[in-house]
Structure 1
Amino acid sequence: MSKIQTMLQLSGRGYAPAQLANATLLIIDVQEEYRSGVLALPGLGKALEEIACLLNAARQAGTPIVHVHHLGISGGLFDPQAPRGQIMPEAAPLPGETVIAKRMPNAFSGTDLHERLQQLGRLDLIVCGFMTHSSISTTVRAAKDYGYRCTLVDSACATRDLPIGDDVLDAQQIHRMEMAILADNFAVCVQDSKALC
């Protein structure tokens, strides 16, 4: 039996994972809603530690960093005036780091993300954050349309349990499935930040 390959491999369009030295780090929606709100993620702790490591390594390497901040509605999810809508301290932007405010899952939709990335002049994006099946997935898919090459950091992403009919799909199962889907035709996936240095 032949080895199963991704669409990227079969089409000859695969590429090596990005390195911090030649990429932009894109950190998506690392906000308190996912720790203390109704969208609390079961795998948050480990993913947040990996995001903090990745962020520290990027800063030491002089890698451009773009933080994406989802703006919700007052009194609701990601309330921009409430603590749940704020970026977690472990991933808070430093002065001079770009912050993109978005209102849709896709960070390119209705924002100037593409223009800001173009100004940085790098086609390789290293992507991490929350949630794997939602904002990570939609942003990575859109990035391909703009010509970017995405590298996803598996252990620096997480999602939540989801209902389907009377059943519940486990967060880890959803995460693994979404990473496999994105790795098929939209991104290269690496296990952790050690692969990017």
Structure 2
Amino acid sequence: MSEAPKTLLELAGANPAPASLKDATLVVIDAQNEYVDGPIALPAVGPALKAIASLLADARAAGTPIVHLAHRAPAGVFVEGTEGAEIAPQAAPKQGEPVFKKELPNGFTNPEFAPALAKLGRKNLILTGFMTHMCVDSTARAAVDLGYGVTIVENATASRPLPGAVGKPSRSAQEVHDGALSSLADLFAVVVPDASKLG
């Protein structure tokens, strides 16, 4: 019987702990209506938005800084001024919670995002939002490059089905989501199942 695979973190002897609301910034990524009832609606968006709403309430009660990212595109989906581009009510920012617009998956491509995080003085980020394999993934990897510790809350993220590459079968939304989290957990993030597991 073959041995279970290990992450690169495990092979390096690292055992990073998840971030806590006491020492992190909560980042809500693209929790927008396109993912609720638009052409790229996500199968698990309802439970994920419920988890985001709960985590937002906990973060606000704890005094945790909260920032939001919102995708924008010139045509198709996420077009400025459309209902689909608006942040879903469950994840809507409150007064004092900045929203940074972006045109690429990585949130750090907005030049104002990194300085705003740096000003908060917290070196851990808790990431939630959509989609796991796209904007969550890209932002997490960029955050690590900039020296942040990253924690991702599994039930507060979601993905969509994708066609298979190079002739492989298509992948369900759950398979895409799980695969993205496995890849990130190899080196780039601590992945927790839900907010109760935050440090």
When normalised by structure 2's length, the TM-score is 0.94
Q: Are 1:156 and 2:156 an aligned pair?
A: yes
Q: Which moved more, 1:51-60 or 1:2-11?
A: 2-11
Q: 2:101 touches 2:110 (CA, 8 Å); kept in 1?
A: no
Deviation per CA, 1:92-149: give whole Å up to 9, x if none.
1111012111110000013321111100000000001000110000100000100000
- SS of 2:190's partner is strand
Distance 1:97 1:45 in 2: 23
- Structure 1 residue 2: deviation in Å? 4.9
Q: Are 1:195 and 2:190 an aligned pair?
A: no
Distance 1:3 1:36 in 2: 39
Structure 2 residues not aligned, in runs of 5+? none
Structure 1 residues not aligned, in runs of 5+? none
Matched letter for residue 118 of structure 1 = A
Distance 1:116 1:9 in 2: 32
Q: 1:100 touches 1:111 (CA, 8 Å); kept in 2?
A: no
Match of 1:66 in 2: 67
Q: 2:18 touches 2:198 (CA, 8 Å); kept in 1?
A: yes
Distance 1:169 1:89 in 2: 29
Matched letter for residue 85 of structure 1 = A
* Percentage of identical aligned residues: 45
- SS of 1:182's partner is helix
Question: As a proportion of its length, which structure holds more strand?
Answer: 1
- SS of 2:170's partner is strand
When normalised by structure 1's length, the TM-score is 0.95
Distance 1:194 1:28 in 2: 20
Match of 1:97 in 2: 97
Count how many residue pairs are aligned between Structure 1 and Structure 2: 196
Distance 1:79 1:24 in 2: 27
